[in-house]
C-alpha cells in the first residue's frame, strides 16, 4: 500500500491551540502542515532578507566608490564602480526564485516552483563565468598593450572598499545559503567573493606599480582570473549536483536510521531523497509485520514520516510505502518493477 505524506502532520508537535486539537480529533490523519509550512516560509523570508541587505551593502560599496570617482574623475574607477553596481543586481534572479518558491503548488506544478532556485543558480554561475572571461581578457590586453597607471592611492582605496564590501556580502550569503539549503544563494555568495578578489587585485597591482614593477597589475589580474575559475568550478559543481538531484549520502543514511528507529518497522530500503528549492523530500519503503491491518500500516507510515521530519534537517515531506516483511518480493513480481 502506498501512503503519500507530502503534507506534514501534527502528531507530537504539542498542540497548544484548542482549534488544532479539535481538528486533530475530527480528522486524526489530516496532518496539519502549518508548522512545517511556516518553517519553510521562514527560510524563504530569511533568504530574501539576506538578499535585500546584501544588495544594500553592495549598493553602498559602489556608491562609496562613486564618491571617489566624482572627486578624482578617474575613468578606471568609474568602470569599477559600474561593475560593482551590476554585481549588486545578481541578487535579482535569486530573489525572483525565492518569490516563486513561496507560491503554492498547483495542478500543473504539483511540487510548487522551488526548482526555480536551481535555475537562478545556473544564471549566477554564468555571471561568474563572464566575470572570469572579462578579467582574463583585460589582464591579457594589459600585458600586450601596457599602459601607465595613475592615481595609485586612489585606485588602491577603491580596491579596498570593493574588497571589504564584497567579502562581507559573500560571507553573509554563503553562510545563510548553507543554513537554509539554497544552492543559488551560496553560488551568489561565491560570485560576490570573486568580485572581492578582483578588487583586491586592484590593490595589489597598484602596490606593485608603486614599487616600480609596472607589469604587476596585469600579472596579478591573471592570477585572480585563475582564482575566479576555481570559485566557478566549486559553484558550478554545487549547482550541477542540485540539478541532478544529488544529496549528501549521510542524509540518506540518516533517513534509513530514523525510519528503522520507529517501533514496528523491521527494515527500510529504496530510499530516495531530492531537493525542491531549499527543502528536502524523501521516498522510501518500510517492511512491517504482514499481519498488520491497512489502518495500522497507514498509521505506522505516518509515524515514520513524523520521525523523519523531526530528525532529518530540512526534510519537509516523505512518501512512505509500507510492505510486508515477508512475501513483498512476490507481490512486486506480479505488478512489475516499481
Average pLDDT of span 311-322: 92
Is the pLDDT at 150 greater than 70, yes or no? no
Please tell me the least confidently modeled range out of 12-21, 116-125, 165-174: 12-21
Is the pLDDT at 309 greater than 70, yes or no? yes
pLDDT of residue 335: 54
- 87 burial (CB, 10 Å; 0-12 / 13-18 / 19+) is buried
pLDDT of residue 3: 45
Is the pLDDT at 121 greater than 60, yes or no? yes
Report CA-CA distances (Å) from 191 to 90, 95, 148, 224, 296: 9, 15, 29, 13, 51
Higher per-residue pLDDT: 97 or 270: 270
pLDDT of residue 289: 93
Higher per-residue pLDDT: 39 or 17: 39
User: Would you say 30 and 20 are in contact if contact means Cβ atoms under 8 Å apart?
Assistant: no
pLDDT of residue 81: 66
| E strand or H helix that includes residue 321 | strand 315-324
Report CA-CA distances (Å) from 54 to 142, 189, 196, 229: 32, 10, 14, 23
164's grid cell = 571589504
pLDDT digits (tens, 9 = 90+) for 27-84: 333 333 334 444 555 566 777 888 888 888 888 888 887 887 677 555 445 555 666 6
Closest CA to 272 of 295, 252, 297: 252
Helix, strand, coil content of the chain in percent (nearest 5): 65, 10, 25
Residue 302 to residue 11: CA distance in whole angstroms: 9
Mean of pLDDT over the chain: 77
What are residue 124's DSSP bridge partners? none
The torsion angles phi and psi of 225, rounded to 5 degrees, stand at -60, -40
pLDDT of residue 55: 83
What are residue 185's DSSP bridge partners? none
Higher per-residue pLDDT: 250 or 135: 250
User: Would you say 9 and 29 are in contact if contact means Cβ atoms under 8 Å apart?
Assistant: yes
For the chain, what percent of residues have pLDDT higher than 70? 77
Is the pLDDT at 310 greater than 90, yes or no? yes
* DSSP string for residues in 174-229: HHHHHHHT-HHHHHHHHHHHHHHHHHHHHHHHHHHHHTT-TTHHHHHHHHHHHHHH
Residue 75 to residue 58: CA distance in whole angstroms: 20
pLDDT digits (tens, 9 = 90+) for 190-227: 877 877 777 777 777 778 777 888 777 678 777 777 87
Would you say the pTM of this structure is higher than 0.85?
Answer: no
pLDDT of residue 69: 66
Q: Strand 315-324 to strand 267-276: parallel, antiparallel, or no bridges (unpaired)?
A: unpaired
Is the pLDDT at 119 greater than 70, yes or no? yes
Average pLDDT of span 298-327: 92
Cα first-last separation, the chain: 12
Residue 337's pLDDT band, with cuts at 50, 70 and 90, is low
What are residue 276's DSSP bridge partners? 279
Residue 307's pLDDT band, with cuts at 50, 70 and 90, is very high
Is the pLDDT at 165 greater than 70, yes or no? yes
Q: Which residues of 219-257 are buried (b: 16+ CB within 10 A; e: fewer)?
A: bbbbebbebbbebbeebbebbeebeeeebeeebbebbbe
pLDDT of residue 183: 74
For the chain, what percent of residues have pLDDT higher than 90? 22
Residue 8's pLDDT band, with cuts at 50, 70 and 90, is very low
Residue 71 to residue 321: CA distance in whole angstroms: 69
Higher per-residue pLDDT: 17 or 106: 106
Amino acid at each position: 500500500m502506498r501512503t503519500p505524506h507530502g503534507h506534514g502532520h501534527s502528531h507530537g508537535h504539542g498542540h497548544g491551540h484548542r482549534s488544532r486539537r479539535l481538528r486533530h480529533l475530527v480528522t486524526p490523519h489530516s496532518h496539519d502542515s502549518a508548522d512545517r509550512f511556516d518553517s519553510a516560509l521562514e527560510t524563504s523570508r530569511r533568504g530574501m532578507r539576506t538578499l535585500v541587505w546584501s544588495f544594500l551593502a553592495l549598493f553602498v560599496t559602489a556608491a562609496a566608490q562613486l564618491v571617489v570617482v566624482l572627486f578624482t574623475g578617474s575613468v578606471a574607477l568609474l568602470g569599477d564602480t559600474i561593475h560593482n553596481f551590476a554585481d549588486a543586481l545578481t541578487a535579482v534572479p535569486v530573489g525572483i526564485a525565492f518569490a516563486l518558491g513561496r507560491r503554492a503548488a498547483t495542478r500543473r506544478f504539483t511540487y510548487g516552483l522551488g526548482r526555480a532556485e536551481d535555475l537562478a543558480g545556473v544564471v549566477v554561475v554564468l555571471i561568474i563565468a563572464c566575470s572570469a572571461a572579462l578579467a582574463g581578457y583585460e589582464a591579457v590586453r594589459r600585458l600586450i598593450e601596457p599602459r601607465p597607471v595613475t592615481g595609485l592611492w586612489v585606485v588602491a582605496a577603491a580596491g579596498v572598499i570593493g574588497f571589504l564590501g564584497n567579502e562581507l556580502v559573500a560571507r553573509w550569503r554563503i553562510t545563510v545559503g548553507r543554513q537554509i539549503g539554497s544552492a543559488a544563494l551560496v553560488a551568489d555568495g561565491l560570485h560576490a567573493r570573486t568580485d572581492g578578489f578582483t578588487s583586491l587585485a586592484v590593490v595589489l597591482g597598484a602596490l606593485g606599480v608603486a614599487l616600480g614593477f609596472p607589469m604587476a597589475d596585469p600579472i596579478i589580474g591573471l592570477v585572480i582570473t585563475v582564482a575566479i575559475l576555481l570559485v566557478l568550478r566549486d559553484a558550478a559543481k554545487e549547482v550541477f549536483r542540485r540539478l541532478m538531484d544529488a544529496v549528501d549520502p549521510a542524509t540518506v543514511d540518516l533517513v534509513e536510521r530514523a525510519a528503522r528507529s520507529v517501533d514496528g518497522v523491521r527494515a527500510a530500503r529504496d530510499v530516495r531523497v531530492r531537493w525542491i528549492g531549499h527543502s528536502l523530500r524523501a521516498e522510501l519503503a518500510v517492511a512491517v509485520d504482514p499481519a498488520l491491518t491497512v489502518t495500522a500500516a497507514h498509521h505506522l507510515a505516518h509515524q515514520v514520516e513524523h520521525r523523519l521530519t523531526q530528525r532529518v534537517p530540512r526534510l519537509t515531506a516523505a512518501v512512505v510505502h509500507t510492505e510486508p516483511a515477508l512475501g513483498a518480493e512476490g507481490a512486486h513480481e506480479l505488478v512489475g518493477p516499481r
